[in-house]
Amino acid sequence: MATDFQGIATQFVTHYYTTFDTDRKSLAGLYRENSMLTFEGAQSLGAASIVEKLTGLPFQKVKHEFGPPDAQPTPNGGIIILVTGQLVVDDESRPLPYSQAFQLCQDANGQWFVFNDVFKLVLG
């Protein structure tokens, strides 16, 4: 049976951003030791390093506003996801446009995790 990659992508993105906006430390379970984050050009490898980067960002409150993700299956049974949206940081009146790409893979137990995560602000 074919994987419902679009449905998985939509569920994942909703879960990821809800968790990010409420309790960034809880994102650790979505990454593995071989996961990589590139955040505005700075790379972090491994779940602990990634969560350290995300929890150390210089804002207290954040809200992600995003549209439906674009998703495609990858040859290894994974899913690549592209999200575009806006960040509202510390109740600023001007949201920041961003794009973020995820590559999801499944571990030996069939659990989805983030293998690659690339985040970029889109500044004009």
pLDDT-derived band at 91 (thresholds 50, 70, 90) equals confident
Asked if residue 66 is part of any domain, the answer here is: yes
Asked if residue 17 is part of any domain, the answer here is: yes
Asked if residue 53 is part of any domain, the answer here is: no
If you write DSSP's letter for every residue of the chain in order, what string do you get?
Answer: ----HHHHHHHHHHHHHHHHHH-GGGGGGGEEEEEEEEETTEEEESHHHHHHHHHTSS-S-EEEEE-PPEEEE-TTS-EEEEEEEEEEETT-SSPEEEEEEEEEEE-TTS-EEEEEEEEEE---
Residue 92 or residue 40, greater confidence: 40
Residue 1's pLDDT is: 38
Asked if residue 39 is part of any domain, the answer here is: no
Residue 5's pLDDT is: 94
Domain total for the chain? 1
Q: Provide the domain limits for residue 86.
A: 5-21+61-121
Which whole number is the average pLDDT over 13-27? 97
Residue 2's pLDDT is: 53
Asked if residue 29 is part of any domain, the answer here is: no
Q: What is the CATH number of the domain that holds 81?
A: 3.10.450.50
Query: Which of 34, 2, 5 lies closest to 114 in space, CA to CA?
Result: 34
pTM attached to this predicted model: 0.93
